């Protein structure tokens, strides 16, 4: 099934610059229906209110981190299958293991480039 480029995507990061970077790269890839959240709590509210096709989240945020957000999303039966990609500076093995246990679909380490973003998105939502 072809990917619907109009699907809503949620970008979660406490740094405005990073949200803007991801939004711009998504636009280049053809995805313009993008919402933003500033931390895990903000993201949970938005996910509860709207059906997203993909979540791209940072890890290091307060008061709720990206990994905590991921765990809570997966605990909700409605969002068990919600495609979730972590984009983070955390790169230790234990981080990856923890993210995998929490149910992440893909893991992108910062700094990242447009090619990596597309590759990981394709593995999660399909070719586009």
Partner 1 sequence: MAKKTGQDQKIETLIEREMQSTNPQTMNKDSFSLLAAKVATEIVRELGDKNSEFFKELRQIVSSIDSAKDEIAAIRPKELAEKELPDAANALDIIIKTSEEAASEILGCGEELMEIAQYVPGKLNQRLMEIATKIFEASNFDDLNGQRIRKVIKTLHLIEDRLKRLLSTYGEAYEVVKETTAVEPSEDSLLNGPQDQNKATSQEEIDRILNG
- Is residue 18 at the binding interface for partner 1, with CB under 8 A as the rule? yes
Which window, 2-10, 22-30, 37-45, 67-75, contacts partner 1 (CB under 8 A)?
22-30
Within the chain, strands assigned E span 9-12, 34-37, 54-57, 84-88, 106-109
And the tokens for 109?
């380490």
The single residue among 6, 32, 75, 113 that binds partner 1, judged by CB under 8 A, is 113
Which window, 43-51, 67-75, 99-107, 111-119, contacts partner 1 (CB under 8 A)?
111-119
- Estimate the crossing angle of helix 66-75 against helix 93-102, to 10 degrees: 20
Number of residues that bind partner 1 (CB under 8 A): 18
> Do 59 and 35 form a contact (C-beta atoms < 8 A)?
no
Instruction: List residues binding partner 1 (CB under 8 A).
Output: 13, 15-18, 20-21, 24-25, 27-28, 60, 89, 110-114
């Amino acid at each position: 099934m072809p990917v619907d480029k109009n699907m809503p995507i949620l970008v979660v990061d406490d740094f405005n610059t990073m949200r803007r970077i991801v939004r711009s790269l998504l636009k280049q890839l053809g995805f313009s229906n993008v919402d933003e959240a500033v931390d895990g709590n903000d993201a949970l509210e938005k996910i509860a209110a709207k059906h997203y096709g993909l979540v791209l989240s940072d890890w290091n945020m307060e008061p709720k981190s990206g990994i905590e957000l991921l765990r809570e999303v997966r605990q909700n039966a409605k969002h068990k299958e919600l495609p979730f990609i972590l984009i983070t500076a955390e790169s230790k093995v234990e981080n990856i293991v923890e993210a995998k246990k929490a149910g992440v679909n893909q893991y992108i380490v910062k700094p990242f480039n447009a090619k990596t973003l597309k590759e990981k998105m394709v593995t999660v939502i399909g070719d586009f």
